[in-house]
Amino acid sequence: MKRRDFIKKAGISGLAAGAVAAPAIVKADTKLKWKMVTTWPKNFPVLGTGANLLAESITEMTDGRINVKVYGAGELVPAFEVFDAVSRGTAEMGHGAAYYWKGKIEEAQFFSTVPFGLNSQEMTAWLYHGGGMELWEETYAPFGVLPAAGGNTTVQMAGWFNREINSVEDLNGLKMRIPGLGGEVLKRAGGTPVNLPGGELFTSLKTGAIDATEWIGPYNDLAFGLYKAAKYYYYPGWHEPGTTLEAIINKKAFDGLSKDLQSIVRNACKMVNQEMSTEYTAKNNAALVTLVNDHKVDLRKLPDNAIAKLKVLSEDVVSELAGKNKAAKKIYASYDKFRKQVMAWHEISEKIYFNVRG
């Protein structure tokens, strides 16, 4: 279904759209004050500062006709209530990640990341040029929320471990902070996934309350000082190979904008998607040098048989998610078709290039 048709239909059938009668289109001289609630601590490196950049860019490009103010997690609403706040119009925008809403919309997880799934380049290609965005809009339409890709972590690290992983058996009984689909996969490999907020990782790891934790990648992990609490730093981040962050917009607020302002909001999200992902690319590589040279971090690759086992288990977990409901099945069909095709192309382009470059 084309976006235009979709928006038209959503206008008729959407739950929240019922509230929209004839939206007053904002004139060029109107000044709007918008709130952006986020799932990140205020000014958190890349995640929070990227949300700030999105807000500032909209304010700047509109010359203050939309003035966007950013709220960190808990400032206006708690992190995990960002989606609801945007849905009911408490805030006009939000910044977070789609897998945080899995309790409400299980299939939303496909729009953030999937174990052994698409990397950052592939996710953005699927969303904007492979049909993914239309499905994402359809998924959020009943809540009166418009989604956009608003950043990407790129391939993450597997995490910080105080137990050596020399074979798949070593995952057995491993108590690890790893949320979402990755956590479910670890559970099936015999581990014990736990969920903890970022602020508790260091102490939990240091005191032995957990054996391991994943977080993001060198840049954010260095800032948390995790190297002081764990012996080994494992790669690669099989569980989050290119997590798409999301910018969400209250549909009623968006519909009330003139076309130029709508275009600015949409393009600002695309701009920040690239900015955040390439900021990670640049900053992770510099942070890795610091971790290895200054902090003598012991970098390890997960053993092949552990990765092979996790891959098989991931396929089960993702297939089961796809079977949960009709919408999940439809999204998975699109995602999986794109994944197979892009893997064949990257086999002879991006992947082989990395391998021949050395």
CA count, 13 A, side-chain hemisphere, 218: 21
- Residue 8 or 129: the one with the smaller Cβ distance to a copy of itself is 129
- Residue 63 or 164: the one with the smaller Cβ distance to a copy of itself is 63
* Residue 181 host element (H or E): helix 180-188
Q: How far is the CB of 142 from a copy of itself (least distance, A)?
A: 27
In the sheet that holds 232-235, the strands lie side by side as 192-194, 175-177, 212-213, 159-161, 232-235, 298-301
Please list, in sequence order, all residues whose beta carbon lies within 8 angstroms of the beta carbon of residue 179, skipping any fewer than 6 positions away: 99, 193, 195
Count the helices and strands in the chain (H runs, E runs): 13, 11
- Residue 176 or 276: the one with the smaller Cβ distance to a copy of itself is 276
353 interacts with a copy of itself by CB under 8 A: yes
**Binding segment for a copy of itself among 81-89, 180-188, 298-306, 323-331 (CB under 8 A)?**
298-306
Binding residue (CB under 8 A) for a copy of itself from 16, 155, 226, 318: 155
110 to 149: interface string for a copy of itself, x by CB under 8 A: ------x--xxxx-xxx-xxx-------------------
Q: Is 8 exposed, middle or buried (0-12, 13-18, 19+ CB in 10 A)?
A: exposed
159 to 198: interface string for a copy of itself, x by CB under 8 A: ----------------------------------------
Length of the chain: 358
Strand partners, 66: 32
351 interacts with a copy of itself by CB under 8 A: yes
237 interacts with a copy of itself by CB under 8 A: yes
245 contacts 50 by C-beta, under 8 angstroms: yes
Binding residue (CB under 8 A) for a copy of itself from 10, 26, 47, 61: 61
- Give the total of residues touching a copy of itself (CB under 8 A): 74
Strand partners, 36: 70, 93
- Residue 230 or 342: the one with the smaller Cβ distance to a copy of itself is 342
* Residue 4 host element (H or E): helix 3-13
301 interacts with a copy of itself by CB under 8 A: yes
Stretch 243-282 residues interacting with a copy of itself (CB under 8 A): 258-260, 263-264, 267-268, 270-271, 273-275, 277-279, 281-282
312 contacts 248 by C-beta, under 8 angstroms: no
217 to 236: interface string for a copy of itself, x by CB under 8 A: xx----------------xx
